[in-house]
Amino acid sequence: MPKELPQRSCIACRQVLPKASLLRFVQAPDLTLVPDLQGKLPGRGAYTCVKRSCVQQALARKQFSRAFKGNVTLPPADELVRQVVGFMEARVTSYLALANKAGKIVSGNEQVMDFLRKGKKGVLVVASDISPDIGEKLLQTARRSNMDCFSFSTKDALGALLGKGLRSALIVTESGFLDVIRNEMGKYRNFLEGGAIENG
Protein backbone atom coordinates (compact mmCIF):
# COMPACT_ATOMS: atom_id res chain seq x y z
CA MET A 1 0.00 0.00 0.00
CA PRO A 2 1.33 3.48 -0.77
CA LYS A 3 2.42 5.43 2.24
CA GLU A 4 -0.18 8.00 3.17
CA LEU A 5 0.88 11.60 2.85
CA PRO A 6 0.41 13.60 6.03
CA GLN A 7 -2.63 15.82 5.67
CA ARG A 8 -3.69 19.08 7.23
CA SER A 9 -6.73 21.29 6.93
CA CYS A 10 -6.80 24.91 5.84
CA ILE A 11 -7.59 27.02 8.90
CA ALA A 12 -9.78 29.28 6.72
CA CYS A 13 -11.93 27.01 4.54
CA ARG A 14 -11.22 23.70 6.35
CA GLN A 15 -10.33 21.86 3.16
CA VAL A 16 -8.08 18.87 3.96
CA LEU A 17 -5.06 18.42 1.69
CA PRO A 18 -1.58 16.87 1.82
CA LYS A 19 0.75 19.14 3.77
CA ALA A 20 2.88 19.77 0.70
CA SER A 21 -0.12 21.26 -1.15
CA LEU A 22 -0.81 23.81 1.56
CA LEU A 23 0.95 26.95 2.78
CA ARG A 24 2.59 26.64 6.17
CA PHE A 25 2.88 29.49 8.64
CA VAL A 26 4.89 29.52 11.85
CA GLN A 27 5.75 31.91 14.64
CA ALA A 28 9.14 33.53 14.43
CA PRO A 29 11.09 33.66 17.71
CA ASP A 30 9.65 37.16 18.26
CA LEU A 31 6.15 35.64 17.86
CA THR A 32 5.49 37.30 14.49
CA LEU A 33 3.58 35.14 12.05
CA VAL A 34 5.75 34.21 9.07
CA PRO A 35 5.14 32.13 5.94
CA ASP A 36 7.27 28.98 5.77
CA LEU A 37 7.25 28.04 2.11
CA GLN A 38 9.69 25.18 2.48
CA GLY A 39 7.74 23.76 5.39
CA LYS A 40 10.92 23.33 7.37
CA LEU A 41 10.89 25.97 10.09
CA PRO A 42 10.68 24.56 13.60
CA GLY A 43 7.64 24.78 15.79
CA ARG A 44 3.95 24.44 15.43
CA GLY A 45 2.54 25.20 11.99
CA ALA A 46 -0.79 26.57 10.79
CA TYR A 47 -1.86 25.81 7.24
CA THR A 48 -3.94 27.52 4.58
CA CYS A 49 -4.71 26.70 0.96
CA VAL A 50 -2.30 28.23 -1.54
CA LYS A 51 -4.83 30.98 -2.12
CA ARG A 52 -4.64 34.62 -1.24
CA SER A 53 -8.32 34.56 -0.21
CA CYS A 54 -7.77 31.83 2.39
CA VAL A 55 -4.86 33.76 3.95
CA GLN A 56 -6.99 36.91 4.09
CA GLN A 57 -9.95 35.03 5.48
CA ALA A 58 -7.85 33.32 8.15
CA LEU A 59 -6.60 36.72 9.31
CA ALA A 60 -10.03 38.34 9.19
CA ARG A 61 -11.58 35.52 11.22
CA LYS A 62 -8.74 35.43 13.72
CA GLN A 63 -7.95 31.83 12.87
CA PHE A 64 -4.20 32.34 13.08
CA SER A 65 -4.63 33.65 16.62
CA ARG A 66 -6.67 30.59 17.46
CA ALA A 67 -4.14 28.23 15.87
CA PHE A 68 -1.35 29.75 17.96
CA LYS A 69 -3.45 30.15 21.09
CA GLY A 70 -3.51 33.93 20.94
CA ASN A 71 0.23 34.09 21.22
CA VAL A 72 1.11 35.50 17.82
CA THR A 73 1.71 38.93 16.31
CA LEU A 74 -0.21 39.27 13.06
CA PRO A 75 0.82 41.49 10.19
CA PRO A 76 -1.85 43.35 8.18
CA ALA A 77 -3.39 41.13 5.49
CA ASP A 78 -1.84 42.94 2.53
CA GLU A 79 1.59 42.74 4.12
CA LEU A 80 1.29 39.01 4.76
CA VAL A 81 0.06 38.42 1.21
CA ARG A 82 2.99 40.43 -0.15
CA GLN A 83 5.39 38.40 1.97
CA VAL A 84 4.05 35.12 0.60
CA VAL A 85 4.21 36.43 -2.96
CA GLY A 86 7.75 37.70 -2.40
CA PHE A 87 8.90 34.33 -1.09
CA MET A 88 7.21 32.53 -3.97
CA GLU A 89 8.83 34.82 -6.51
CA ALA A 90 12.21 34.29 -4.90
CA ARG A 91 11.78 30.51 -5.14
CA VAL A 92 10.76 30.58 -8.78
CA THR A 93 13.61 32.99 -9.54
CA SER A 94 16.19 30.77 -7.89
CA TYR A 95 14.99 27.69 -9.81
CA LEU A 96 15.08 29.64 -13.06
CA ALA A 97 18.61 30.80 -12.25
CA LEU A 98 19.68 27.20 -11.59
CA ALA A 99 18.10 26.01 -14.83
CA ASN A 100 19.89 28.81 -16.64
CA LYS A 101 23.22 27.82 -15.13
CA ALA A 102 22.59 24.27 -16.27
CA GLY A 103 21.94 25.50 -19.80
CA LYS A 104 18.28 24.48 -19.71
CA ILE A 105 16.76 27.81 -20.73
CA VAL A 106 16.02 29.13 -24.19
CA SER A 107 15.29 32.85 -24.42
CA GLY A 108 14.80 35.57 -27.00
CA ASN A 109 11.57 35.81 -28.98
CA GLU A 110 12.86 34.12 -32.12
CA GLN A 111 14.60 31.31 -30.31
CA VAL A 112 11.52 30.74 -28.18
CA MET A 113 9.25 30.69 -31.23
CA ASP A 114 11.59 28.25 -32.98
CA PHE A 115 11.52 25.96 -29.99
CA LEU A 116 7.71 26.14 -29.76
CA ARG A 117 7.27 25.29 -33.43
CA LYS A 118 9.24 22.09 -32.94
CA GLY A 119 6.68 20.95 -30.36
CA LYS A 120 9.31 19.88 -27.84
CA LYS A 121 8.72 19.56 -24.12
CA GLY A 122 9.20 22.54 -21.85
CA VAL A 123 7.54 25.28 -19.83
CA LEU A 124 6.93 28.70 -21.34
CA VAL A 125 7.36 31.76 -19.15
CA VAL A 126 6.29 35.15 -20.48
CA ALA A 127 6.99 38.46 -18.78
CA SER A 128 3.91 40.28 -17.51
CA ASP A 129 4.88 43.28 -19.66
CA ILE A 130 5.44 41.36 -22.91
CA SER A 131 3.92 43.16 -25.88
CA PRO A 132 0.40 41.74 -26.31
CA ASP A 133 0.94 40.74 -29.97
CA ILE A 134 4.08 38.75 -29.32
CA GLY A 135 2.64 37.30 -26.12
CA GLU A 136 -0.50 36.07 -27.89
CA LYS A 137 1.51 34.50 -30.71
CA LEU A 138 3.80 32.64 -28.33
CA LEU A 139 0.94 31.47 -26.13
CA GLN A 140 -1.11 30.20 -29.07
CA THR A 141 1.83 28.27 -30.44
CA ALA A 142 2.65 26.83 -27.02
CA ARG A 143 -0.93 25.72 -26.42
CA ARG A 144 -0.92 23.80 -29.69
CA SER A 145 1.69 21.49 -28.22
CA ASN A 146 0.01 21.49 -24.78
CA MET A 147 2.92 23.29 -23.19
CA ASP A 148 2.30 24.83 -19.78
CA CYS A 149 2.50 28.63 -19.91
CA PHE A 150 3.01 31.03 -17.05
CA SER A 151 3.20 34.77 -16.68
CA PHE A 152 6.01 35.81 -14.40
CA SER A 153 8.07 38.88 -13.62
CA THR A 154 9.05 41.60 -16.09
CA LYS A 155 11.20 41.77 -19.23
CA ASP A 156 13.80 43.64 -17.29
CA ALA A 157 13.98 41.19 -14.40
CA LEU A 158 13.88 38.08 -16.62
CA GLY A 159 16.75 39.49 -18.65
CA ALA A 160 18.75 40.29 -15.54
CA LEU A 161 18.09 36.83 -14.17
CA LEU A 162 19.57 35.28 -17.31
CA GLY A 163 22.44 37.74 -17.43
CA LYS A 164 21.10 39.22 -20.66
CA GLY A 165 19.25 42.26 -21.94
CA LEU A 166 15.44 42.50 -21.85
CA ARG A 167 13.78 39.11 -22.22
CA SER A 168 10.01 38.92 -22.75
CA ALA A 169 9.86 35.14 -22.87
CA LEU A 170 11.85 32.08 -21.99
CA ILE A 171 11.45 28.33 -22.07
CA VAL A 172 12.67 25.91 -19.48
CA THR A 173 13.67 22.93 -21.57
CA GLU A 174 13.33 19.26 -20.71
CA SER A 175 15.32 18.62 -17.54
CA GLY A 176 14.96 17.90 -13.86
CA PHE A 177 13.87 21.52 -13.45
CA LEU A 178 10.69 21.11 -15.42
CA ASP A 179 8.51 19.54 -12.75
CA VAL A 180 9.70 21.72 -9.91
CA ILE A 181 9.31 24.93 -11.89
CA ARG A 182 5.89 23.87 -13.15
CA ASN A 183 4.89 23.12 -9.57
CA GLU A 184 6.22 26.39 -8.12
CA MET A 185 4.74 28.45 -10.94
CA GLY A 186 1.41 26.69 -10.50
CA LYS A 187 1.34 27.53 -6.80
CA TYR A 188 2.25 31.12 -7.54
CA ARG A 189 -0.53 31.47 -10.09
CA ASN A 190 -2.95 29.72 -7.77
CA PHE A 191 -2.09 32.02 -4.89
CA LEU A 192 -2.68 35.14 -6.95
CA GLU A 193 -6.06 33.76 -8.11
CA GLY A 194 -5.85 35.70 -11.34
CA GLY A 195 -5.23 39.09 -9.73
CA ALA A 196 -1.98 41.00 -9.68
CA ILE A 197 -0.36 42.23 -6.52
CA GLU A 198 0.44 45.87 -6.10
CA ASN A 199 4.03 46.42 -5.19
CA GLY A 200 4.45 48.68 -2.26
Sites of contact with Zn ion (CB under 5 A): 10, 12-13, 49, 54
Question: How much of the chain is in helix, strand and coil states, percent to nearest 5?
Answer: 45, 20, 35
Nearer to Zn ion, 17 or 166 (CB): 17
Nearer to Zn ion, 93 or 190 (CB): 190
Closest distance to Zn ion from the beta carbon of 173 (Å): 34
Handedness of CA 38, 39, 45, 47 (dihedral sign): positive
179 by Cβ neighbours in 10 Å (0-12 / 13-18 / 19+) ranks as exposed
Closest distance to Zn ion from the beta carbon of 12 (Å): 5
Distance CA 180, CA 163 (A): 22
Nearer to Zn ion, 49 or 99 (CB): 49
List C-alpha distances in Å: 83 to 76, 150, 199: 11, 21, 11
Closest distance to Zn ion from the beta carbon of 157 (Å): 30
Nearer to Zn ion, 49 or 59 (CB): 49
Closest distance to Zn ion from the beta carbon of 24 (Å): 13
